[in-house]
Structure formats: structure tokens, C-alpha cells
A and B are shown apart, each in its own frame.
Chain A
Amino acid sequence: MALISLVGITKRFGSVVALDNVSLGVESGEILGVLGENGSGKSTLTKIIYGVYVPDSGYIELRTDGLMRRAFFSSPKEALLSGIVMISQRPQLVEELSVLDNIALFLGYSRGRTRKIVESTMSRFNIKLNADALVGSLSYTEKQLVELVKALSFKPRLLILDEATTYLPRDVKARFYEALRTFASIGGSVIFITHKIPEALEVCDRIAVLRRGRLVRIFSRKDVFSIDDLRKAMFEEVSPSVATERVEEAKAEDGKVLRAEGLVVLDDYGKRAVSIDELVVERGSVHAVVGVAGNGQKELCEGLSGLRKAVEGRVVLDGEDVTRSKASERASKGLVYIPEDPFRTGVVLDLTIMENIRLFATGRLSSDTVKKVISELRISPPEPRIKSYMLSGGNLQKLSLSRALLLNPKCMIVHNPTRMLDEASSRQVKLLLRDSARKGVGVLLVSEDIDEVIDVADKISVIANGRIVKTLPAMYPRLREEIEEAMSTYA
């Protein structure tokens, strides 16, 4: 029995067609995956269901009082009233309030009533949370769990997860999936948006694949299909190199391009987030820092790049002490930082693609340069004059990465560069990092993805609680086991 169906949805942003005549239905009690590469229209689709965008043509039907009726949402509030709740990549919570107050605010109930509901939700879906904790004091992972509890407490008919699990560590992901299955088993519907094939395979009953705004195919669990079929639907052709392969090893040259000594950095709440005795990035090599999310990675990157003040210690760039330099000065001296979140600190959304490139072009910007930056990581749509906010998260990340090379960096700090990217793009990014190292750049790759780290890095450090607990060369035997062990022991 269908709960909601989209009929012939089309949405354009200026000259960009984000969705092209997409029709799709979700059954009651079903987890429907929506899979697609970066910029395929997944986010636009959810935003239309959630009332953020209004389609140019097409309509939505929703089961109301047992009948399918046309529904029209002009705001998320209206979608909520029809029982649709969305969890996105970023928690939508008031930091200054407690978990309980946040949920009470969302439900519109008293604290007492909310507490009962929250407690029953947590026991039913097997989630453990301190409801009285201040949201501001929680980690990202915990905040996403709060989002989940908040959404489930609402008792929605349809739950939309827009890449909501992308940033979560594996074990939390599993708890998320479990909760979703429980939710589906009691008749709830889920739309699960992702660009990671394994994620989709793990949790979804059916998988709808989008490519360049069109619905390509719907895979059902009952069907027999291979991963390659999925890949083919996603990327149009199965690229032979998509399978995890080892990028060729580069020899580390001599010379420390970036060195942090006794570096101490505080987090937003004044707590010690990073405390590092020594971290060295060598010219022409990729040094990876790997760890479970929330172990000070962001603060480390910001401390090194200058966005965050170092309270102790020093940062030396190519022999020059830059501890007191601002981020802009470090950038112009060749220390480039590509943050994990292109929306907030990476790309300027109000500017066009070309203008975002111009920010990194110190001299005259030729159209050839623009073309090169766009084609380097195949940014889509490849139109330099469209505003950046029309790009999907993955494409923004690609833009953020490929333009950084224009500054001729001596050292690049790259934080979770591939997390938002599909497989093909991820591979390009990895190649780009290797290639930069070959050209003599020192690359510091800060990542949560062990596979990625093992793929790319020459040297790997494990970070836990803001400290480097182990550093190993890439040639180390039993590398993966050592890293996993270190990550879990100290976390």
C-alpha cells in the first residue's frame, strides 16, 4: 500500500535541471533507498517532499484518510503536519537547550509529557541518551542520535534521512539502521538518501537510482542484481578502476614542510581538544591522521590552518613560525586547508563557481584556468557562471578541492575529502592528492575512513582524544589491524 507517491516531478534552477520528470512511490513499512552520484538530484528530491522547494511541474500524492490525495507543501511545517519528518546531515538543534527541551520544542508538548514520550521512544528503539544533557555539550554523533529520537518521538508516517548517517562512525550507523528497521516493522516508511552503495545495500528494501536528475532504475531486494548493476545505473558505466585499488606509492622526499610542536587547541567550549607533541608533514608525501570522528580532528585542522588559535605550542611552515599568523596569511604562504564542510567554510555559496575560483587566483583569471579547475574533478554542472548554492554537496567539495591547487600550495590540509563523494569522484580525489604529493606538496589527510587512508597515505597517525597515539609507515605489516586496534583502544 503506497504511502506517498511523486508524480512527474520536475525542478529547474535557472539553466540547471535538477530533477527531470521523476515519478516514485514509497510503500508503508518500506525503507526506500535513493542512490545517486554527487549532483544527481537526491537532495532536491527530498527538499521537494519536505516542502523546502516547490516543483516546477508534477505533484505529490499522500495517503490521507485511506485515500491517495494530492498534497502540496509550501514549507517544512506543512510537511510535518502531514507526518513527514526529515533528518539531514546537520543537526537542527538549539545548542543552548537540553535534549529534552529541544524535543519538547519540536513536539510542542510540555516537558513532562515529552519526557514520557522520549523515554518510551528510547526503550522501543533501543537508543541510550541523557535527555537532560545540554545539546551544546554533545558530540556530532550524539546530536544525530538526538535528531533520530526527536524524529521518532513525533511518530511520523514518513521519515526522510538525507545523508544523515554519512558522518557517523560504523557502530552508531548500525544502531541507526536497527532503529530504522524497527520503525519500518511497525508500519513506518523511510526514504534513505545516500551516495554510498554499501549503505544502501545494507538497509534498504528497494533502491531507486538517480542519475543527472532522472530516475534510472529501481532495484528491489527480491530481484537478483550485482553491485556492478548498481554502479552502472549510478555512473552510467562501470569504471574498471572503481574497485579499491592501491594508488602507486610515492617516495617521500626530504624536508619537513609543516611541523606542529606541543600544539594545544581548544574546542568551542574551551575544552582541550588537541594536544600534540609533534606532527610532521614531509614535502612530497601524504601523511594521514585517522581516528574516530570527534577526537579533535576538526580542531587539529583549524589549529594548523590558523582558523583556531593555538593556546600552546607552535606551527612551523617551511621553516617559518606561523603560530601567530592568521589563516589568510598562512594560506598565502602556501598552507591551504580544505575543510570537510564545503557549505560553511569551504565554498562561498552566494558566489558563482567562477567567482569561487577567482578567490584562489592571485593573478588574472583566464577562462582556461576556470575550465581546468572544473574539469579536473568533473564538477557538475560544468557551468562557471551558475551560483554555487545550486551545486550538490559533493560537487561543492570537489570545487573546494580542485581550486586549492591554484594557490600553488606547499602544504595541503585535507579533512574528510571524500566523505560526501561517490566512488568515482572519491577515486579522482585520491589521485589528485597523490598527484599533488608527487609534485612536491606535503599533504596532511585527516580522515575517518581507514580504507581511504590506507589507499593514499605514506605515513599514518592515529588520533584519539586529541593526541597522536600511534604513527606507522604505510608499508607496515598488519597495518589495518594495528590502526583499528589503536583507534578502538584509545577512543
Chain B
Amino acid sequence: MNKTLMTGLLIGLIIGVVIGIVALYATTKPSTTATPTTQATATTYKPPEKVKAAFIYVGPIGDLGWSHAHEVGRQAVQALYSDWLETTYKEQVSKEGAASVIDDLVKAGYNVIFSTSFDHMDPTFEKAQQYPNVMFFHCSGYKRAPNMGTYFADLYQVYYLNGLMAGALTKTGKIGYVAAFTIPEVVRHINAYAIGAQEMGRLLGKNITVYVIEIGAWFDPDKAKEAARTLVEKYDVDAIAFTEDSSSIVEFAQSLYTQTGKQVYVFSHYSPMYSYGPDVVVSGQLVRWEVIYADILAKVKSGVYRPDNLQNVDYWYLLNTGAVELGCHIYDNGTVMMVNPKFQPVLKSIKVKDPQTGAEVSAYDYVMNRYQQMKEAPLLQSLQGTSLTHQYESLKSVSTNLKAIPKVPVAPSFDPFEGPLKGYCLLGGKDAYSRFCSGKPVNSEVVVKDGERLTHDDLWNMDWFVEWVKYMGRT
């Protein structure tokens, strides 16, 4: 029997040796896909005949949420560019598996790879070094390389609009936010939402407080629901917005409404969730990644984007581009339900005085006016595609010497992040990254001066809450 065991050991060793040899072979002889044939340069570069694009998703495609939204985008561009575009996707790709999946895609001949989670950033970046002829685009991160660009569609303006409605509707003056993580992106959304609610609340004589609970996960229906329940039961909150990838909070509010008649207003996140809570969803945020994908792929096809010039490609698309939208439902004819018809009469019956114009309007019109203001910024989109031009995004206008048009508008005529604003630092010392908080202790006061508009960098590095946001902790 020892003999058989030794045979087993031998088998094991042989397998080991074979694997070792294969590995050594792989080390010494780089695979053909990765061998740089000719260094891509401006003069010799030929755009690909056929673009093969692969999309890597962190979650399941499902019917809702982040990965679903990207998949919608993929299908849209696939239909749009069917002549020359071939796409594929891999779902449920975790952080520890991302690099191997990229290896596989490159071997299968994909020349454009989109990775859509912050978890994929480091593997994508490292793989970009390994495969210099493949173009990588990463969503939600900050690392770029000659063959790796970044893109993002941000929702803060939409959250501001949601906040206006929350401020109009709340009876307790206490509104809630369930956050996945308190990273700058979500902090920005919370602040925008709080600014909207406060703005409307002040006009209506309400004292607004925003309660935030962090759940530490992008997708966790149970935790999200419990956080919402805590907000409602413990903090008397009656309007909730959230960053979490499921419809769980919407369903919670709906069941609360059906079972006890208690009205908690909810703002649907990322995907149209109206159908999960027709009695509670007021409005929400929608994303259209196809706007960005169509732009990137068109530029890849035309040779504008090459594997050597993506270093500064950084999309930062807002309401003005159509990549994000206010709404909670898509009707069968393709139009967007921006505000639930159930709540439209209520919002229209609330009258406020617009401080900008002095005219008395309904809360509903007030929201729509702001929406229009942020929608219309014709110069802005040109600045939103590269990292080098982000600095101009916050310019309200540029002056010319011409008499007829002395000023040319750049940024939208309204933006929620404009002073006067007061806040407090979440982080301090070396941990903080914004110009307001770095080097200062935690909880230091943040002051944005009257008329000062926050820049792209300020938005990216937001590590402070406005005064009336109360952070209740992480579950």
C-alpha cells in the first residue's frame, strides 16, 4: 500500500513539475497577444476595423442596480454600432478574480475593456501595464495610464432636486439617507440632497435635519431595510434617499404605507423603482451609461482614442449631458416619469417664493426651474471629457470684450454647491484630502464663501458634511 501512496506522490509531483514547466515557459516566452509588434504611434496608428469591447461587472446583471445600468448601456451601443462593434460581458466578477478575467478577455481578442467597479481599479491598472495595446476604461476610479481612461456619470445635481422635493413634502423636517459608504461620491450626494432639502425647507419655514446611516455595502437589501427602519422609527424621518443597489428600501416604505398607512417618501436610486412603491416613490435618479459608451466607442472607432493617449481621458458627465436624469420610472413609450403623478398635485399646491427671481411659484415648478437651469450649459460638455479641462467646469462664465455678448456662460446658471455653505470635516489631518479639511482636526468648520462655486476637485475630494447632516454611524 505504501507503494500506491508513493505512486500518488509521484503523480502529484509530476503534475507539479508540469505546472512548473508551463509556468516557466509562460515566463520566458510572453504570449503573442501581449508581444508589442509595433509601438502604436500617432503616425502608424490604424484604428481597429472591428471594435471588440468587453464589459466587466462586479454584480449580477439582474433587473436593477449598478451592473444592470451598465448592461443597458452595453446593449444600447451594441445595437447602435452593430456594423463594427462586437461586445461581451462578464458578471459577478469579484476583486480577486478581475485580473484573471482580463487575461481571458485579452486572449479572446478584446481590444477595449470596460471595468465598472472600484474593486476592479487596481487589477485593471496593473493589467493595463501588461497589455499596452489594449484600451482600458475604468468607471468610478482615479487611476489612468496611456491605455487606460476613466469615466463617471455623477448624480449630485439629481440628488439636489430630490432634496428639494423632500424638503417640500416632509412634515417632521427630519429626512434620512442610507449610504453604502461615506466615500466622497456618496458624501457629495448626501450634501446635495441636504442642500436641496434645506433650501426648500427654509422657504417653507421648516427646520431641516438630515440623518445618515452607513451600511458598508453597495448591495445589502437586509441592512438597507434595517437602516431605513431605524431612520423612520428612531429618528422620526419621513423622507428617505439612498445609495444601495436594491429596491429594498422602496419596498419597505411601500409595505409601511400599505400596512399602517404611514407615508414615508422615497427617492428611487439608479434604476426605475417606481413599480416597487407606487405610493411612496416621489422621484429618483436615473443613469444612462450608453451616453458615455457611445462617445468612447465612437472615438475608438475613429482613431481619436488610441492605446497611447488615454492618460487624460476622464469623463465627468452631469445632467447637461443626458448621462444622468431625474426620474423614477420609464413609461412604455420610453418617456421618463420625473415625478410620481400621485405627488404632483401636492407639490403643485405648495407655493414658495423663488429667491432668484422673487416670483411666487409652486414647489413643483421650482424643482423644474432648477432642473432646466442645470440642464442648459452648452459649453460645459466639451470640458467634461478630459482631466485637464475639469478645472473650467466651475466657471460660471467667461468675459469677452465684445459688446453684444460680454459674457459667455460656461457652467450651468445654478449649481447646488455654491456658497454660502457651512459644514464640518469628517476627516482630519493627513487623512483628509479636501482643501477645506486637510491639515485640520476632525469636525473643523468648513466655510464656502458667498458666491463661491466648488470646483471639480472640491467635488471629487468632498470629505465634509454640511451642518445640518447628522452622521448616525455605520451598521
Measured CB to CB, the residues of A under 8 A from B are 352, 385-386
Q: Which residues of B contact A386 (CB under 8 A)?
A: 1
A385 to B5: give the CA distance in the assembly, Å.
11
Q: A358 to chain B: closest CB distance in Å? A: 12
Interface members, chain B 143-202 (any A CB < 8 Å)? none
Query: Inside 8 A of A385's CB, which chain B residues have their CB?
Result: 1-2
Contacts of A352 in B (CB 8 A): 1
**Nearest CB in chain B to that of A386: its residue:** B1
B410 CB → nearest A CB, Å: 80
Number of residues on chain B facing chain A (CB within 8 A): 2
How distant is B297 from chain A, measured CB to nearest CB, in Å? 63
A318 vs B107: C-alpha distance in the bound complex, in angstroms?
74
Q: Of all chain A residues, which has the CB nearest B1?
A: A385
Q: Point out the residues of chain A lying under 8 angstroms from B2, CB to CB.
A: 385
A352 and B2 CA atoms in complex are apart in Å by 10
B interface residues with partner A (beta carbon < 8 Å): 1-2
Alpha-carbon distance A385/B2, docked complex (angstroms): 7
For residue B1, which residues in chain A have a CB less than 8 angstroms away from its CB?
A: 352, 385-386
Give me 4 A-to-B residue pairs in the complex whose CB atoms sit less than 8 angstroms apart, sorted by A's number: A352-B1, A385-B1, A385-B2, A386-B1
A386–B2 CA distance with the chains assembled, in angstroms: 10
Complex Cα–Cα for A137 and B2 (A): 46
Closest CB in chain B relative to A14 CB, distance in Å: 8
Q: B354: shortest Cβ distance to chain A, in Å?
A: 82
Q: CB-nearest residue of chain B relative to A352? A: B1
Complex: A386 Cα to B4 Cα, angstroms? 13
Residue of B nearest to A387 (CB): B1
State the Cβ distance, B2 to closest chain A Cβ, in Å.
6
Separation of A392 and B1 alpha carbons in the complex (Å): 20
Q: Give the CA-CA distance A346 to B1 in the complex, in Å.
A: 23
**Which residue of B has the minimal Cβ distance to A354?**
B2
B1 CB, min distance to chain A CBs, angstroms: 5
Bound CA span A3–B2, Å: 45
Q: Which 4 A-B pairs have the closest CB atoms?
A: A385-B1, A385-B2, A352-B1, A386-B1
- How far apart are the CA atoms of A352 and B1 in the complex, in Å? 10
Give min CB distance, A410 to chain B, whole Å: 33
How many angstroms from the CA of A385 to the CA of B3 in the assembled complex?
Answer: 10
State A123–B2 Cα separation when bound (angstroms): 57
Give the residue name and chain of the B residue nearest to A384 (CB). B2
A387 CB to nearest B CB, Å: 8
The residue of chain A having its C-beta at the shortest distance from the C-beta of B2 within the complex is A385
- Residue of B whose beta carbon sits closest to that of A385: B1
Nearest-neighbour CB distance to chain A for B255, whole angstroms, equals: 48
Closest chain A CB from B178 CB (angstroms): 52
How far in angstroms is the closest Cβ of chain A from B279?
Answer: 58
**In the complex, A382→B2 CA distance in Å?**
16
Of all chain A residues, which has the CB nearest B3? A385
Complex Cα–Cα for A250 and B1 (A): 43
- Give the distance to chain A from B9, nearest Cβ to Cβ, in Å: 16
How far is it, in angstroms, between the C-alpha of A117 and the C-alpha of B23 when the chains are bound? 75
A385 to B1, CA, bound (A): 6
Shortest distance in angstroms between A12's beta carbon and chain B's nearest beta carbon? 15
Chain B residue at minimal CB-CB distance from A14:
B1
Q: How long is the Cα–Cα vector from A211 to B123 in the complex, in angstroms?
A: 71
Quick one: closest A residue to B4, CB to CB? Answer: A385
- Bound Cα distance from A385 to B6, whole angstroms: 13
Residue on A nearest B5 in the bound complex, by CB: A385
What is the CB-to-nearest-CB distance from A350 to chain B, in angstroms, rounded to a whole number? 13
CB closest chain-B residue, reference A383: B1
- Bound-complex Cα distance A399 to B444 (A): 79
A201, B113: Cα distance in complex, Å: 88
Nearest Cβ on chain A to B113's Cβ, whole angstroms = 52
Complex formed: what's the CA distance from A11 to B334 in Å?
77
Separation of A250 and B51 alpha carbons in the complex (Å): 98
Expressed in whole angstroms, the Cα–Cα distance for A71 and B2 within the complex equals 38
Chain B nearest CB from A374 CB (Å) reads 16
A145 to B1, CA, bound (A): 42
B144 to chain A, nearest CB (A): 59
